[in-house]
Amino acid sequence: MPELPEVEVIRRGLAPGLLGRRILRLVIGEKRLRRESSPEKFQEWLPGRVILDLERRGKYLLFRLEGGVTLLLHLGMTGRLLLGPGPSPPRPHVHLVLELEGGLDLAFQDVRRFGQALVFPPGAEPDPLAQVGREPFSREVTPEWLAQEARARSRTIKNFLMDGRVLAGIGNIYASEILFAARLHPGMPAGRLSPADWGRVLKETRRILNAAIAKGGTTVSDYLNSRGETGLFQLELSVYGREGEPCRRCGRAVARISQGGRSTFFCPRCQKKK
Ligand SMILES: [Zn+2]
């Protein structure tokens, strides 16, 4: 599942090809996504408008169009954005194709259909964004703020990091990696972390997300970048997916536990419960 770095990499990859380009026509697939505007709404608001900006909030991509219209996309579990010369070849599971000026097509493909494609008329700020927490790189995110948020919620540090209503865009892979780097046991109650712990969590969160963005996002899951390439830039993961393999720091076997129905990977020696 794409996390913040993957979505950011897609945004950076697509923006040069999309900005300033006009949407001419749409092709709308027959099957519906988990959340998707009606074909009539797409046809009313998208064709004829220039793409002015491409933003990211959490794991959402926001296409800011002429006249204050916003197209919001979420890649869900298996969503892909493929930008290439039109007409784009027939592919299964394509839900929306934007035919653009200059002979380019942007296709949104989503096999499992957990993605979202919603259009918002002028003046309507997309309501899914109301549920999106602060951006990890925002100045408003400080160790003190994290500690305060954690005290208000009773949960483990792993589940706290993955709560997109607090910090946007951190999923299962990066939560495991951040806690390994910060040397914190994933089962620790978030409310018990010290100020120094929060300082390390924030520093490692930013370092790891930046490293992943710089390397083009990981390719652990069923994910393609904006040019449809896969297998690029594999980030070296320290613990995620490495159960039984030696810890890169101390050599002890990496362990796996289940938290909130998701696998967490950690080193039992480097990440002791306090
Ligand atoms: Zn270790």
| Closest to 45 measured CA to CA, from 160, 122, 131, 102 | 122
> Is 85 in the active site?
no
Q: What is the pLDDT of residue 159?
A: 96
Q: What is the pLDDT of residue 80?
A: 87
Rg, Å, the chain Cα set: 20
11, 57, 59, 158: the active-site residue: 59
Non-local CB neighbours of 162 within 8 Å, separated by 6+ positions: 170, 171, 172, 175, 260, 262
SS3 274: coil
| Dist. CA 214 → ligand 1 center (Å) | 25
Model pLDDT for residues 8-51, shown as the tens digit of each residue: 988 988 898 899 999 999 999 888 999 999 999 999 999 999 99
Q: Is the pLDDT of residue 157 over 90?
A: yes
> Is 47 in the active site?
no
Model pLDDT for residues 159-173, shown as the tens digit of each residue: 999 999 999 999 999
**Could you tell me the pLDDT band of residue 230, with boundaries at 50, 70 and 90?**
very low
What percent of the chain shows pLDDT beyond 90?
Answer: 70
Looking only at Cα atoms, what is the longest distance across the chain? 59
Residue with tokens 């790189």, as numbered in its chain: 137
Q: What is the pLDDT of residue 222?
A: 39
Q: What is the pLDDT of residue 231?
A: 37
Question: What is the value of pTM for the model shown?
Answer: 0.88
Non-local CB neighbours of 206 within 8 Å, separated by 6+ positions: 136, 137
Q: Is the pLDDT of residue 226 over 90?
A: no
Model pLDDT for residues 85-135, shown as the tens digit of each residue: 888 778 889 999 999 999 999 999 998 899 999 999 998 889 999 999 999
| Dist. CA 162 → ligand 1 center (Å) | 22
Cβ atoms of 35 and 118 within 8 Å: the answer is yes
> Is 262 in the active site?
yes
Q: What domains does the chain contain, in order, with CATH numbers?
A: 4-131 (3.20.190.10), 143-266 (1.10.8.50)
Question: How far is 47 from 26, CA to CA, in rounded Å?
Answer: 7
> Is 252 in the active site?
no
Tokens encoding 63: 């296409």
128, 215, 262, 268: the active-site residue: 262
Non-local CB neighbours of 184 within 8 Å, separated by 6+ positions: 157, 193, 197, 200, 201, 271
Residue 94: strand pairing partners: 109
Cβ atoms of 211 and 238 within 8 Å: the answer is no
Non-local CB neighbours of 255 within 8 Å, separated by 6+ positions: 243, 265, 266, 267, 268
| Dist. CA 266 → ligand 1 center (Å) | 8
Question: How far is 161 from 159, CA to CA, in rounded Å?
Answer: 5
Cβ atoms of 36 and 30 within 8 Å: the answer is no
Q: Is the pLDDT of residue 75 over 50?
A: yes
